[in-house]
Structure 1
Amino acid sequence: MQFPESWLREFCNPPLSTAELAETLTMAGLEVEALSPVAPPFSGVVVAQVLSIERHPNADRLNVCQVDVGTGSPLAIVCGAPNVRPGIKVPCALVGAALPPAKQGEPAFVIKLGQLRGVESQGMLCSARELKLSDAHGGLLELSGAAPIGVDLRAHLRLDDTIFTLKLTPNLAHCLSVHGVARELAALTGAELRAPSYPPVAVTHDTRLPVHVDAPDLCGRFSGRVVRGVNALAVTPQWMAERLARCGQRPVGPLVDISNYVMFESGQPSHIFDLDKIHGDLRVRWGRGGETISLLNGSTIEVDAGVGVIADDLQVESLAGIMGGEATSVGEGTRNVYVEAAFWWPQAVAGRSRRFNFTTDAGHRFERGVDAARTLDHVERITGLIIDICGGEAGPTYDRICAMPDRAPVTLRIERASRVIGMPVSQAECADVFNRLGLGFVEGDGTITITPPSWRFDLQTEEDLVEEVIRILGYSRLPDVPPLAAVTPRLPPAARQGLRRLRCLMVALDYQETVNFGFVEERWERELAGNADPIRLLNPIAAPLAVMRSSVLGSLLAVLKVNLARRAPRVRVFEIGRVFRRDSRVVDGECSVAGIDQPTRLGALAYGPADGLQWGAVERSVDFYDLKGDLEALLAPQIARFLPAEHPALHPGRSARIELDGRAIGWIGELHPRWRQGYELPQAPVMFEIDVESLSDRALPTHVPLAKQQTALRDVALIVDDAISHATLMKAIDTASSEGIVRSARLFDVYRPQRPTAELASGQRSLAVRLELRDDDATLTDERIDAAVKTLLDRLTADGVIVRLRG
């Protein structure tokens, strides 16, 4: 949002300098991002009129001009501009004038009395480029015919002005106009606010254009009128063109300029249709599949039921609240127009422009909220300017109110406001703030209840009112007092490890952290998470990023593709972030939303060689067991079980469900061949994803004294079915020896013959297990060892395990 300071001071002119004015706005939340002068410094330039021109006697491209500069006698000035002619008024730099230098840092260019090709020149006629007013260099800067001769050019063009550029947050929609900023400035300084006037225009004919609002959820109010007999060839007044230019808007033509001017003045976007190009009635409705419209920016788009439109009996004429169509645009041949000003619901406009890869000033305002109570006033304002500039006759106004925004009262508790602000505020001070802001309110015992006005869409909670109080009172009033409370560190339990420790552990395992968006492509959710109904975003920042992720695996694959595109040979990355899943058991809370579970997940991906380039080992690709080892190191001293299971993103024969203490905490495996091919990966990465909460609590290390008794080792060979996993066998051994002297069991060999034998049938394998036995209180004897091993093997035999060999 940018505007000239002079325009702001027409509405509110406090006794502040430009710098003080900018500081006041910034400290009230309206950040002044930049202050820039309208024109660079120059002096000695006046308004002049060319009286006559003669061809230079010694140069084909130069003319000798007689110029009236208001001194009583004309000056002879040599000029080579292509547009110089008798009668025009242009800037003239007198002898001694100081013009802006050609390059920054150089001294000013001083005009001297001199001769050009033997003819004396008593000054210089200037172009806009020579005065650094613009980059136009097609000739002299032509001024209006009403410009008084001899007047200083800076005063005539009001060049001693400053352009304010504000960086507004989305909640400050009421400040997206010069009058809106002036209203805030009046509240901040107490200076008088001069509101714009909207005198009704005399109605001289009864021509009406029927308008049907078929979608009240799209348009809450629609106002308009017909104006006949306008002159579209009229010239936009210089004062209006200057203000538009200083607001960053290029003047187009009188009708379009008037519409833009009122938008910058009051914040109400509008549209002017060429009435003669409208076929039948206008209908305000949602779009229909297959309908297209050619827009004013030259693009042709296809609309659907999610986009609001204004249509006539034949075609779509305008995108509601965003941009008009080329079919009914005004031009030089326009004679009759229809002026429209409406209130479009913010949720019906938000995000629509980005769907078509463009933004507009109108859409920017409507999606944040526009004053619905003043649409008819703005029609009157636009009509008055049209008649003043282009002529014409106004018809009766049309005003259809479907549904106005509900302005629910909001109550401020004075005692709570004081606590939140950090300093005492009285009820009288709060009431004065609301009075200065123009907010209607009712006082109670220690409370003030305000009813937000039609132009304030941001006042919805008590916190919003607290912000208004301190914003207007001034942040400078906040006391510089150190906290009085004792600073007592609250250390988490030693057994609970936070996210920082998890990050450090992953980095120590040779992984690099990556941070990704929580919103992803819908394809990732469907293919990699098996989620057919993801949580959709109402207003995505980009069309592909339209849903919330329920898994981090897709994000890690995207990071892998970026690295492979840059020829990274080895990729090991991890991410700790939230995922979002539908869960009806979740209720609204301070950090939760009803129906949406938001757990934190840790995901990791490994791709390429298992180790970096080295001489001591043969290079091999990372596999399932490498990642499984990293995960076991991360979980230590807890021991997880890895059970064969299928996951939509993982290879059905090379994936497992991770269980800890009997509950599933995540998945690990190699990427499914279908997705490796679908995502165009040279080879399949290995990935895991686990719930961070399961890693938060860990067993603390405890001191175990060195054993005083000698340990005995016994090896046994067991025949088990392929369906019995290693984890199941180890659990069975642990259960069978829980009350004995068997301290541990470790698998050290697996034998599976190429074809069935008399000892090993099809679907069986031999597992060699080493048992560690010890009694901390007495030395073991062979008899005790043999008895303990026999008891263990008897229990395993009862469970269907065949003892092949013991030793």
Structure 2
Amino acid sequence: MQFPESWLRQFCNPPLSTQQLAEALTMAGLEVEEVSAFAPPFSKIVVGEIKQAEQHPNADRLRVCQVDVGQPELLNIVCGAPNARVGIKVPCALVGAELPPGEDGKPFLIKTGKLRGVESQGMLCSARELKLSEDHGGLLELAADTPVGKDIREVLALDEALFTLKLTPNLGHALSVYGIAREVSAITGSPLLTPVHPPVAAGSTEVLPVKISAPDLCGRFSGRVVRNVNTKAATPQWMVDRLARCGQRSVTALVDISNYVMFEYGRPSHIFDLEKIHGGLDVRWGRVGEQLKLLNGNTVSLDASVGVIADDQEVESLAGIMGGDATAVSDDTQHVYVEAAFWWPDAVAGRSRRFNFSTDAGHRFERGVDPALTVAHIERITQLIIDICGTPATVCGPVDDLQPNMPTPQPVTLRVARAAKVIGMPLTQAECADALGRLGLTLQEGEGTITVVPPAYRFDLRIEEDLIEEVARLIGFQQLPTTPPLAPIVPNVRSESRRSPFAVRRMLAGLGYLETINFSFVEESWEKDLAGNPDPIRLLNPIASQMSVMRSCLVGSLLQVVKHNTNRRADRVRAFEIGRAFFRDTSVKTSDTAVQGIRQPLRVAGIAYGPDGQQGWEGRQSAADFYDAKGDVEALLSPRQPSFEPVSHPALHPGRSAAVLLDGVAIGFVGELHPRWRQSWEFAQAPVVFELDLEAVLARALPQAQAVPRHQPAERDLAVVVPEAVTHAQLMQVIWSAPTEGLLRDAVLFDVYRPKADAASAGGLSAGEKSLAVRFTLSSAEATLTDERIDAVMQSLSAALQRDLGARLRA
């Protein structure tokens, strides 16, 4: 919100300097982001009057002007502006003047020089050259009564301070100069001047028929017919200047009047070309298939969630946002219809962003605009139209005012003790009542309470905390005591049985992986294809159409990382991510870290693509495979030893994937990407991925002190023939469950032998059999093992393998 200080002081003029006023507004919650002069710095530019203007003897587009700047002699100035003519008064830069900096940031110094052989003793300036506007069509023409020789900064009040406020969304009532003046009056106690605009007498009984079909869209609709207006009339310079100081360029007189009153009182309005309206107006919700060409040239498609103003044939305007091109006023317009309405904030909020633009009207209506003064708004606009665009034949109809659904403010009660506790300083009921009373609120005091009925323009006063904020604002934030927090600081010491997430990151980095951070919302197809989740958690307002659901698996995000890098000619990628997955779970309750019905566990996932190592002297390395990822998972979980079982996962190769188990509980998976997805993602090689529950990875067993063995261990090898279907896990389960008198310390499979197809009986093996060789480590803490004890243990192991797996000793 930008406005000139002089306009504000017309409504409320406190005895404060510019900087003091800015400080007071900021300390009351209306943050002043910037205070600056309207014009950039420049010097020695005065008012000059052109006394003579003759054609340049050597240039068709130049004129030689004799300019009076209040000095004893006229200045000879060469000018190329098309409107340089005798009698006009314009800004004149004298020799030695500094114009505003150009694109290079350096000021432009005026010197005496020759243009096509004619001496020029200065420069006549346009508004653009003074950085007052973008108008470069000619010289900036000043009023005829402007005194010659006066400094142009003084004449045009170019040193006037402009305030730029950064208002929070709850301060919609301050989106006008009068609204800010109302706040200044409450803050400083200075009187507020409220101009009185008497009703304009109706010269006819003409009323445009209006029907409000959607009271939930429009609570009040006021309008008036004004006939025989001069739309070609020029906007007065004082209005043009004020609009410019609010950051609004002048368009036409009617548009400028509407914008001016919006900045003045914060109530947007719209002016229709009456003759372009077919029949009456209908205020309703849009319909699917309807389209509207807006004033900005865009054509938008409508639906039932957007409010519109339509006539008997077509849609004419987006309710509370922007008018339509079909009924826009033009130079040919003679009769207009002035409209001012109250649109419910919820019916306007977010609609303009849906069409990728925003407007001053929508910005105000979605925050709430005073519904009580639409008629007064119509009267103010009507009077300005008569004053600026009126003709002898101008005639106004009566104001038509429909009120189908006016808002009813609900009382809000403030407890003085509660306000003192929240604000953090002692307060009396009289102080609270004084603060709220200065805002013009109607109060009803009780024992330790104050009940307020919010005025129509205060949509932000709904709960007790809103009133507490108003009390704090009016007291002044600079008056609040500085109180250090009293909460005790208790260190949260992590148990030694858990490692930190940073330790997991450091370990994965040590294994050659780089960390990535990805969005938690992903494409719906990823959930269906890679996670097997047909009903993912959907976003109500996704930031992009391809990011519409929450992920339950991190694999898709990592595949996207690999795809991004391979598209840029990277042949080797190692990446990991620690992030949340999202699942539906009715047992989850809402808390400070959880949302009801949504379980959000942390996962750690990694992906390996390309060679398993950097190319060295030995030649190109083989591609990373299942066993590389499996080894990384084992290293990550070390010293705990996971087990692996075959798993069916929609993202993984059915024969090259496994579930990861710790103590018999599945904590994740590891495997090669399914060939189907490898083909659809267009990978030259198959990536291998793993994903684990982070909580399981963080858990670790504390080291247990053990005595150093006093006796040497013994090692024995055993080769057995088993059916091809026997797995390594089954083999180890039988070995460790066999009775070994506690002497078995370790068992490692070190050889697997299968006969070739043309020598099926080699080594005593038949078709469908394989040989597994295991090395056993035996030890006892009491004494050195004898051959008898070792043989007994080996026989026990052989018997267990024969009994449970049908194994036999290999010949």
Which TM-score band applies after superposition, normalised by the shorter structure? 0.7 to 0.9
1:233 alignment partner in structure 2: 232
1:769 alignment partner in structure 2: 774
- Tell me how far apart the structure 2 counterparts of residues 176 and 760 of structure 1 sit (CA, whole Å): 91
Tell me how far 1:62 sits from its aligned partner: 4.8
Counterpart check, 1:270 vs 2:269: yes
Q: Residues 110 and 211 (structure 1 numbering): CA distance in 2 closer, same or farther, change over 3 Å?
A: same
Alignment of 1:585-624 (within 5 A): 585-615=587-617, 618-624=620-626
Q: Residues 796 and 117 (structure 1 numbering): CA distance in 2 closer, same or farther, change over 3 Å?
A: closer
2:244 alignment partner in structure 1: 245
Q: Deviations over 1:556-607 (max 9, x none)?
A: 3333333334333322222223344333333332233333333333332322
1:803 alignment partner in structure 2: 807
Given candidates 544, 555, 558, the residue that maps to 1:556 is: 558
- SS for the counterpart of 1:83 is coil
Counterpart check, 1:257 vs 2:259: no
Q: Residues 39 and 710 (structure 1 numbering): CA distance in 2 closer, same or farther, change over 3 Å?
A: same
Alignment of 1:681-760 (within 5 A): 681-717=683-719, 725-727=727-729, 729-736=731-738, 740-753=742-755
Contact 2:527 2:534 in 1 (8 A): yes
Q: Residues 479 and 544 (structure 1 numbering): CA distance in 2 closer, same or farther, change over 3 Å?
A: same
Q: Deviations over 1:754-799 (max 9, x none)?
A: 6595777777655443333333334434444444444455555554
1:13 alignment partner in structure 2: 13
Contact 2:580 2:601 in 1 (8 A): yes
Alignment of 1:142-541 (within 5 A): 142-144=141-143, 152-195=151-194, 199-391=198-390, 392-401=394-403, 403=405, 414=416, 417-418=419-420, 420-439=422-441, 453-459=455-461, 465-480=467-482, 488-541=490-543
- Tell me how far apart the structure 2 counterparts of residues 723 and 377 of structure 1 sit (CA, whole Å): 91
1:780 alignment partner in structure 2: 785
Q: Residues 769 and 172 (structure 1 numbering): CA distance in 2 closer, same or farther, change over 3 Å?
A: farther
Bigger Rg over Cα: 2
- Tell me how far apart the structure 1 counterparts of residues 474 and 502 of structure 2 sit (CA, whole Å): 41
- Tell me how far apart the structure 1 counterparts of residues 527 and 39 of structure 2 sit (CA, whole Å): 55
Tell me how far 1:746 sits from its aligned partner: 3.0
Q: Deviations over 1:379-425 (max 9, x none)?
A: 44434433332235443444445555676666655555555545444
- SS for the counterpart of 1:229 is strand
Contact 2:91 2:140 in 1 (8 A): no
> What percentage of residue pairs aligned between the two structures are identical?
59
Q: Deviations over 1:24-45 (max 9, x none)?
A: 4444444444443211344565
- SS for the counterpart of 1:207 is coil
Tell me how far 1:238 sits from its aligned partner: 1.9
Aligned amino acid, residue 266 of structure 1:
Y
Contact 2:740 2:793 in 1 (8 A): no
Aligned amino acid, residue 250 of structure 1:
R
- Tell me how far apart the structure 1 counterparts of residues 722 and 308 of structure 2 sit (CA, whole Å): 72
Contact 1:259 1:271 in 2 (8 A): yes
- SS for the counterpart of 1:329 is coil
Counterpart check, 1:93 vs 2:120: no
Aligned amino acid, residue 551 of structure 1:
C
2:628 alignment partner in structure 1: 626
Contact 1:521 1:544 in 2 (8 A): yes
- Tell me how far apart the structure 2 counterparts of residues 79 and 785 of structure 1 sit (CA, whole Å): 116
**Is 489-498 or 167-176 further displaced after alignment?**
167-176
Tell me how far 1:314 sits from its aligned partner: 3.3
Q: Residues 92 and 507 (structure 1 numbering): CA distance in 2 closer, same or farther, change over 3 Å?
A: same
- Tell me how far apart the structure 2 counterparts of residues 402 and 641 of structure 1 sit (CA, whole Å): 72
- SS for the counterpart of 2:10 is helix
Superposition RMSD in Å: 4.1
Aligned amino acid, residue 709 of structure 2:
A
Tell me how far 1:161 sits from its aligned partner: 1.6
* Structure-1-length-normalised TM-score: 0.86
- Tell me how far apart the structure 1 counterparts of residues 311 and 598 of structure 2 sit (CA, whole Å): 43
Tell me how far 1:733 sits from its aligned partner: 4.2
Q: Residues 667 and 80 (structure 1 numbering): CA distance in 2 closer, same or farther, change over 3 Å?
A: same
- Tell me how far apart the structure 2 counterparts of residues 471 and 721 of structure 1 sit (CA, whole Å): 83
- Tell me how far apart the structure 1 counterparts of residues 404 and 262 of structure 2 sit (CA, whole Å): 23
Q: Deviations over 1:608-655 (max 9, x none)?
A: 222234446751222233223222322233343443333343344433
Contact 1:355 1:543 in 2 (8 A): no
Aligned amino acid, residue 807 of structure 2:
V
- Tell me how far apart the structure 2 counterparts of residues 500 and 406 of structure 1 sit (CA, whole Å): 55
Contact 1:69 1:92 in 2 (8 A): no
Q: Residues 287 and 135 (structure 1 numbering): CA distance in 2 closer, same or farther, change over 3 Å?
A: closer
- Tell me how far apart the structure 2 counterparts of residues 721 and 384 of structure 1 sit (CA, whole Å): 102
Q: Residues 39 and 598 (structure 1 numbering): CA distance in 2 closer, same or farther, change over 3 Å?
A: same
Contact 1:90 1:140 in 2 (8 A): no
Contact 2:670 2:691 in 1 (8 A): yes
Aligned amino acid, residue 804 of structure 1:
R
Q: Residues 599 and 190 (structure 1 numbering): CA distance in 2 closer, same or farther, change over 3 Å?
A: farther
- Tell me how far apart the structure 1 counterparts of residues 480 and 192 of structure 2 sit (CA, whole Å): 27
Q: Deviations over 1:59-94 (max 9, x none)?
A: 7555455667789x9956545243335576432438
- Tell me how far apart the structure 1 counterparts of residues 553 and 443 of structure 2 sit (CA, whole Å): 48
- Tell me how far apart the structure 1 counterparts of residues 334 and 325 of structure 2 sit (CA, whole Å): 16
Contact 2:414 2:449 in 1 (8 A): yes
- Tell me how far apart the structure 1 counterparts of residues 409 and 722 of structure 2 sit (CA, whole Å): 74
Q: Residues 328 and 84 (structure 1 numbering): CA distance in 2 closer, same or farther, change over 3 Å?
A: closer
Unaligned runs of 5+ in 1: none
Tell me how far 1:233 sits from its aligned partner: 1.4
Q: Residues 295 and 146 (structure 1 numbering): CA distance in 2 closer, same or farther, change over 3 Å?
A: farther
Contact 2:579 2:604 in 1 (8 A): yes
Contact 2:67 2:77 in 1 (8 A): no
Aligned amino acid, residue 598 of structure 2:
I
Tell me how far 1:806 sits from its aligned partner: 7.4
- SS for the counterpart of 2:752 is strand
Aligned amino acid, residue 13 of structure 1:
N
Q: Residues 143 and 649 (structure 1 numbering): CA distance in 2 closer, same or farther, change over 3 Å?
A: farther
Tell me how far 1:468 sits from its aligned partner: 4.4
Tell me how far 1:296 sits from its aligned partner: 2.5
Tell me how far 1:141 sits from its aligned partner: 0.6
- SS for the counterpart of 1:656 is strand
Aligned amino acid, residue 598 of structure 1:
Q
- Tell me how far apart the structure 2 counterparts of residues 683 and 197 of structure 1 sit (CA, whole Å): 79
Q: Residues 85 and 219 (structure 1 numbering): CA distance in 2 closer, same or farther, change over 3 Å?
A: same
Tell me how far 1:526 sits from its aligned partner: 4.1
Q: Residues 130 and 183 (structure 1 numbering): CA distance in 2 closer, same or farther, change over 3 Å?
A: same
Q: Deviations over 1:123-144 (max 9, x none)?
A: 7543224433245433211235
Q: Residues 116 and 511 (structure 1 numbering): CA distance in 2 closer, same or farther, change over 3 Å?
A: closer
Contact 2:738 2:797 in 1 (8 A): yes
Contact 1:284 1:310 in 2 (8 A): yes
- SS for the counterpart of 2:271 is strand
